């Protein structure tokens, strides 16, 4: 048998080291979570923070813990301006599924921002609690395009596309939008908007014409949202927790359980995506890499890049002004 070369040994060694590292992280994370769990009556504390890009981390935690026998209720703390349409709807449907399959009460709360896709997600909760000055609502859809034709002319760049149909390159940034393209996108916006509007009417038990009066993209205070029945009660996170405990008939005999957020390290750079928690975790990455640029500015620039490029040319449940 031919002896292994140094290169093959090195590759195998790397595989073993990486494998052992990821197994260690998984076991360590599980042990940390379980060490905090000493009660049979727990209220699961989950969060939806920042722009909703794909929601995978939130959904992963929801699915992991919702059927745990020790979890009797769920409180979801939301601080989000909304985000992509599909992920916002997915969060809504998965919260609905969790409620239907477990019969456990779910309370959503916001003391900051619960707008557009963030509000869509909250519509699945049994109750919505908001701080009186929180920003709520922004029921609507936005789709942004850019026309860089003059910039390309200035740079003496000509771009061309070969397509299989006249709408295949619709939204391209190097030419003006045709009238038929604008009409096509407007139809899409209207359809997605109707999905939002009808979901609000159904979830909040409001007449469609009442919802339509306020479903024009505006944001409102938490107090106004409660007054108009777009939310259930004015309060804080503590109030939402006590409400969930009452709904689960726990009295004062309960413990809050919040899954630990894994610390970000160098290896996470290999799998980092556009998830909102990844963007918010860049402070940890910059610390690891020794970046002299402030973490907040890096996170802001990355978030801006994603919103202004990758998430253009598609309908978004996002509050007004968040593009700038």
- For residue 94, the domain's CATH number is 3.90.226.10
pLDDT of 134: 96
Domain count, the chain: 1
* φ and ψ of 227, to 5 deg: -60, -40
Phi-psi region of 12 (alpha: psi -120 to 50; beta: other; left: phi over 0): alpha
Task: Based on the residue annotation, tell me whether 308 is a catalytic residue of this protein.
Answer: no
Low-confidence ranges of the chain (pLDDT < 70): 1-39, 262-311, 321-324
CA 303 from chain centre, in angstroms, equals 13
Structure tokens of 169?
């390159």
pLDDT of 89: 96
Q: Is residue 4 part of a domain?
A: no
Q: Is residue 8 part of a domain?
A: no
**3-state SS record for 244-301:** HHHHCCCCCCCEEECCCCCCCCHHHHHCCCCCHHHHHCHHHHHHHHCCCCCHHHHHHH
> What whole-number distance in Å separates Cα of residue 277 and Cα of residue 52?
9
pLDDT of 288: 43
Q: Is residue 10 part of a domain?
A: no
- Burial class for 197, CB neighbours closer than 10 Å (0-12, 13-18, 19+): middle
Q: The domain containing residue 202 runs over which residues?
A: 37-259+272-318
Task: Based on the residue annotation, tell me whether 168 is a catalytic residue of this protein.
Answer: yes
Choosing from 8, 9, 166, 168, the catalytic residue is 168
pLDDT of 12: 52
pLDDT of 286: 44
Q: Is residue 221 part of a domain?
A: yes
Choosing from 80, 88, 116, 281, the catalytic residue is 116
How does DSSP classify residue 37?
-
Sign of CA dihedral 277, 278, 279, 284: positive
Q: Is residue 230 part of a domain?
A: yes
Q: Are 29 and 262 in contact (CB under 8 A)?
A: yes
Residue with the two structure tokens 């160098």: 266
pLDDT of 6: 53
Q: Is residue 18 part of a domain?
A: no
């Amino acid at each position: 048998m031919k002896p292994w070369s140094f290169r093959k040994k090195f590759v195998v060694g790397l595989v073993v080291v990486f494998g052992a590292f990821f197994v260690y992280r998984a076991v360590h994370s599980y042990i940390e979570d379980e060490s905090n769990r000493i009660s049979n009556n727990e209220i699961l504390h989950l969060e939806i923070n920042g722009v909703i890009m794909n929601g995978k981390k939130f959904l992963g935690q929801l699915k992991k813990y919702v059927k745990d026998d020790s979890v009797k209720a769920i409180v979801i703390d939301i601080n989000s301006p909304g985000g992509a349409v599909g992920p916002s709807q997915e969060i809504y449907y998965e919260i609905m599924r969790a409620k239907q399959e477990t019969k456990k009460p779910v309370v959503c709360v916001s003391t900051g921002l619960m707008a557009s896709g963030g509000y869509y997600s909250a519509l699945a909760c049994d109750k919505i609690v908001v701080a009186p000055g929180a920003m709520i609502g922004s029921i609507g859809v936005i789709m942004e395009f850019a026309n860089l034709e003059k910039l390309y002319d200035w740079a003496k760049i000509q771009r061309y596309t070969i397509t299989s149909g006249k709408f295949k390159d619709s939204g391209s940034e190097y030419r003006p939008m045709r009238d038929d393209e604008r009409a096509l996108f407007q139809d899409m916006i209207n359809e997605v908007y109707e999905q939002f509007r009808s979901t609000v009417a159904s979830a909040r038990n409001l007449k469609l014409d009442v919802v339509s009066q306020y479903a024009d993209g505006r944001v409102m205070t938490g107090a106004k949202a409660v007054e108009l029945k777009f939310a259930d009660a004015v309060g804080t996170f503590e109030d939402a927790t006590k409400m969930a405990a009452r709904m689960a008939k726990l009295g004062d005999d309960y413990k809050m359980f919040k899954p630990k957020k894994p610390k970000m390290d160098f290896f996470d750079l290999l799998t980092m995506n556009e998830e909102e928690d990844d963007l918010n975790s860049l402070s940890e990455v910059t610390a690891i890499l020794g970046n002299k640029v402030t973490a907040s500015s890096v996170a802001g620039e990355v978030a801006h890049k994603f919103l202004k490029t990758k998430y253009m040319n598609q309908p978004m449940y996002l509050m007004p002004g968040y593009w700038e």
